[in-house]
Amino acid sequence: MSVKTDKLLSILKLQPVVPVLVIDDAATAVPLARALVAGGLKAIEITLRTPAALEAIRAVAAEVEGAVAGAGTILNAAQFEEAVKAGSELIVSPGTTQELIEVANDHEVPLLPGAATASEVMGLREEGYNVMKFFPAEQAGGAGYLKALSSPLAGTLFCPTGGISLANARDYLSLPNVICVGGSWVAPKDLVAKGDWAGITKLAAEAFALRG
């Protein structure tokens, strides 16, 4: 697990914000990813919420230099396998099941498992995980909740996702147990629809600057 944890950390440390993307048209995936990378956001989570998702992951993995293509909303072993086959270097789940843990054990591609309660975090720690997705962040208690977990569950790092924006991202990033945050605000649907890649690069650069 330690090798995969190191691999996971190396990805999540690339930037303070991981874009969470819902791609409806696979043709937009490559220019969108290039725009995000140009703004400093190399690690990209493409969620398996649309029929275009796997094709989008394949395209980004194959064609976008510097991008680290990840797959999100992975709910079962079959999706895990499909995402890895498409070229995903990171697998993200909104929660955790024993099925996901078992399939993750069979792959070198790291899993960022989801947790929302102290009990779920403890269960994942027993499985050898100490880096997790906190989801849905705002609805599950927000930055205050994560701050409260930092002492009793010391040594656990989180990537909070859900309801996070430029306005509240620093509240999370200032916490000792937060390594990065996930957010969709860096690729708003209206800019994607217009093909405003320069506008998305600007938003990505603003998000990248949150590290400072």
Q: Tell me how far apart the alpha carbons of residues 38 and 57 are, in angstroms, rounded to a whole number.
A: 18
Q: State yes or no: is 127 an active-site residue.
A: no
Q: Which of 4, 42, 45, 89 is catalytic?
A: 45
- Residue-level pLDDT at 211: 83
Q: Tell me how far apart the alpha carbons of residues 116 and 159 are, in angstroms, rounded to a whole number.
A: 11
CA 60, 44, 99 angle in degrees (round to 5)?
Answer: 100
- Residue-level pLDDT at 212: 65
Q: State yes or no: is 85 an active-site residue.
A: no
Tracing tokens 């100490």 back to the chain, one arrives at 130
Q: Contact at 8 Å (CB) between 130 and 104?
A: no
* Ranges of residues in the chain whose predicted pLDDT is under 50: none
Measure the CA dihedral 64/57/95/185, to 10°: 60
**Positive or negative torsion for Cα 122, 124, 129, 135:** negative
pTM of the model: 0.97
Q: Which of 4, 42, 89, 133 is catalytic?
A: 133
- Residue 99: DSSP 8-state: H
User: Of 159, 160, 173, which Cα lies nearest the Cα of 207?
Assistant: 173
* pLDDT, tens only, 56-114: 999 999 999 999 999 999 999 999 999 999 999 999 999 999 999 999 999 999 999 99
- Residue-level pLDDT at 47: 98
Domain 2-211 sits in which CATH superfamily? Answer: Aldolase class I (3.20.20.70)
Q: Contact at 8 Å (CB) between 159 and 175?
A: no
